[in-house]
Amino acid sequence: MRIAMIGTGYVGLVSGACFADFGHTVTCVDTEEARIESLKAGVMPIYEPGLQAIVERNVGGARLAFTTDATQAVASADAVFIAVGTPSRRGDGYADLSYVRDAASQIATLIEGFTVVVTKSTVPVGTGDEIEAIIRGARPDADFAVVSNPEFLREGSAIEDFKRPDRVVVGLDDERARATMVEIYRPLNLIETPMVVTDRRTSELIKYAANAFLAMKVTFINEIADLCEKVGADVQQVSKGIGLDKRIGPKFLHAGPGFGGSCFPKDTAALIRTGVDAGARMRLVETTAQVNDIRKSGLAGRIAAALGGEVAGRTIGVLGLTFKPNTDDMRAAPALEVIPALRGMGARIQVFDPQALEARRLLPDVEFKAGPYEAVEGADAVVILTEWDQFRALDLERVRALMRSPTIVDLRNVYRPDEMRQRGFTYVSVGRR
């Protein structure tokens, strides 16, 4: 199949590269020239484990190309995927569909012959109808079908997720489009990946329902963690005890600083808007978003408490800035809330993150250090914000010796409280005694 991928970000680039690895011929299009130039030069514009190799392999095999000019790619494509961003609209939580609409208008002018237009971006129910109307309005004669195919990959394990998904969801009402989608995902038959084929609106909603449910699960265990702290229980054991129940499952039961990232915050907000507009309020999701916001805004207070309330003039070392390990994505990361709040209280902040290059722009009043030991040196407290592997086995003797006072606030429960106390740390974690 010939595929054009409109939008070459975290989803478009990974999907495009993996489709090429399946044997399809893929052209990834992006409006950002620097991004395309960088890819043409073999430099990945994002950090995603394994991405470089798969891109190189498929560019080398002439199955993957990059361009800012969609003309040829769209005209010759059997399927055009839309993988542009759908961020929260400032102020009201609705998904900003301007990039999707622009992409649809552009696709309308370029398609030739029967073309399947596939929405991979996360879009509210009814967006497929809108895309269809945009294309039909511009090209009444065009032969096309609009399909919903939401993406479930996770940054940090995106390639594995794309190539071994739990399921593929496809929403359509056109038999030719079904045949195209089956052909595109045929390589997954080998590993017996279930394909959920449904109507477009249901498919659009499946993506939001999945993300809202996961956000709710994370928020639930965070509240249980707060309760554990009050009543002297251990949230890790609670997670294990409930997660072994197959009806609940062990995933997304890790207490921490609250969810962030490029998906859960904006997708819960958008689903809440859809619910209000449809007259079916999503009260659980509304509460989830509120509880998570309160959690994130309370993190600085937790850290201040670990410092005995004295923050002004103290030095705080922060390990990890991205919203989770193995990505460079800083969108809605808890770090963006907690660090300015600590700065506002008068703390000096020194940080280390292995990949968060963009953080230098987002967090201007912060000292960036070359490694974890540099970031803890002279600190009155160290906060573990992201559980990068390299923070899991720090030389704790060295850390203690480098710090001015050995207080660790471990917001990811990386270490064991009893061991940390034995080693002479004042150790605060989440939901544990």
Residues designated catalytic: 263
Q: How far is the CB of 303 from ligand NAD (least distance, A)?
A: 28
The SS3 of residue 404 is: coil
Question: Using CA of residue 370, residue 371, residue 376, residue 382, what is the dihedral sign?
Answer: positive
Cα–Cα distance, 59 to 70 (Å, whole number): 18
User: Quick one: CA dihedral 335, 339, 342, 348, positive or negative?
Assistant: positive
- The encoded tokens of residue 283 equal 């009260």
Q: 36 or 221, CB closer to ligand NAD?
A: 36
What residues contact residue 355 under an 8 Å CB cut-off, 6+ apart?
Answer: 47, 322, 327, 328
- Closer residue to ligand NAD in complex, CB, 151/234: 151
Q: Which of 191, 23, 31 is nearest to 99 (CA)?
A: 31
**Residue 260 or 372 having the CB closest to ligand NAD:** 260
Question: What are all long-range contacts of 402-407, with beta carbons under 8 Å and residues at least 24 apart?
Answer: 402/373, 402/376, 402/377, 402/378, 403/317, 403/376, 403/377, 403/378, 403/379, 404/315, 404/378, 404/379, 404/380, 405/380, 405/381, 407/306, 407/307, 407/380, 407/381, 407/382
Q: Closest distance between ligand NAD and the C-beta of residue 53, in Å? A: 20
Q: How far is the CB of 184 from ligand NAD (least distance, A)?
A: 17
DSSP strands (E only) in 267-347: 315-319
Minimum distance, C-beta of residue 284 to ligand NAD, in the bound complex (Å): 21
Residue 353 CB, nearest approach to ligand NAD (Å): 18
CA 375, chain centre distance (Å) = 26
Q: Which is nearer to ligand NAD, 11 or 381 (CB)?
A: 11
Residue nearest to ligand NAD (CB): 9
Identity of the residue, 82 or 282, whose beta carbon is nearer to ligand NAD in the bound complex: 82
Kindly tell me which of 39 and 299 has the beta carbon lying closer to ligand NAD.
39
Q: Which two tokens stand for residue 303?
A: 């850290």
Do residues 147 and 175 lie in contact, with contact meaning Cβ atoms separated by under 8 Å? no
Selection from 127, 129, 135 nearest residue 74 by Cα: 135
Pairwise CA distance, residues 69 & 329, whole Å: 26
Query: In whole angstroms, how close is the CB of 74 to ligand NAD at the nearest point?
Result: 10
> Shortest distance, CB of residue 123 to ligand NAD, whole angstroms?
7
CB 7 within 8 Å of CB 121: yes
Sites of contact with ligand NAD (CB under 6 A): 6-12, 29-32, 35, 83-86, 99, 102-103, 106, 121-122, 151, 153, 155, 262-263
What span, in angstroms and rounded, lies between the C-alpha atoms of 238 and 134? 50
Q: Which is nearer to ligand NAD, 133 or 227 (CB)?
A: 133
E strands within 236-353?
Answer: 315-319, 348-352
Considering only CA atoms, give the Rg of the chain: 23
